[in-house]
Structure formats: structure tokens, C-alpha cells
Amino acid sequence: LAAFLQDSGFNGLIGGLNAGLARAGFAAFTWPTDAATSAFSLFNACGILCMILGIGLSRRLADRFGKRDVFGGALFVSTLFLLAFYFFPPTA
């Protein structure tokens, strides 16, 4: 995971954000050093970004397809993603 975060440029992005916040007078942000905590943090960050995107699109989708159909579709997609965890071993 650490190599992926480094190779993808994610660590550079966090470093740049950290430097900008430090220049603005905020305390320095430090990314967790152990792989399990880093993965959990990245997983939660992606979930929050998807939630923000969904909130932004929900009104337009509900107006176009109806609230019930949008909710059912979102629930179905969410169920598929949760079922995907079945295929990952507990050690992953």
C-alpha cells in the first residue's frame, strides 16, 4: 500500500496540501505510517468523496428518474460493492 500511495502521487498531494496548510498557520497533517491505518484512512476518504458526489447528483437524478427509483438503484449498487468484500480474503 505504501508503494502504491507513493507511485500514484498521493503522498506528494498530501505533502503539498500539508505544506500549504502549514504556511497558512495550521498544524501539520501527518499521514499514518502503518499500512492498515493508511488503508483505512484512504478507504474512508474515498467513501466521503463518493458521498459528496452522490449528494450533488441526487437532486438531478431524483427529478429525472424519481426518488424511489434513484434510491433503489443506489441501494442495488451499494449492495454490489458490499458483496464484493466476500471475494477478498480476511488477510487482504
What pLDDT, in 10s, does the model give residues 19-38?
887 788 877 666 666 667 77
Residue 41 makes CB contacts below 8 A (sequence gap 6+) with 31, 32
Q: Which of 16, 15, 18 is nearest to 26 (CA)?
A: 18
Share of the chain above pLDDT 90, in %: 28
Residue 74 pLDDT > 70? yes
d(CA 48, CA 62): 21
Name the least confident of 3-12, 54-63, 69-78.
3-12
pLDDT per residue over 59-72, tens digit each?
999 999 999 999 99
Q: Do residues 31 and 38 make contact, with C-beta atoms less than 8 angstroms apart?
A: yes
DSSP state of 85: G
Q: What pLDDT, on the 0 to 100 scale, is given for residue 47? A: 86
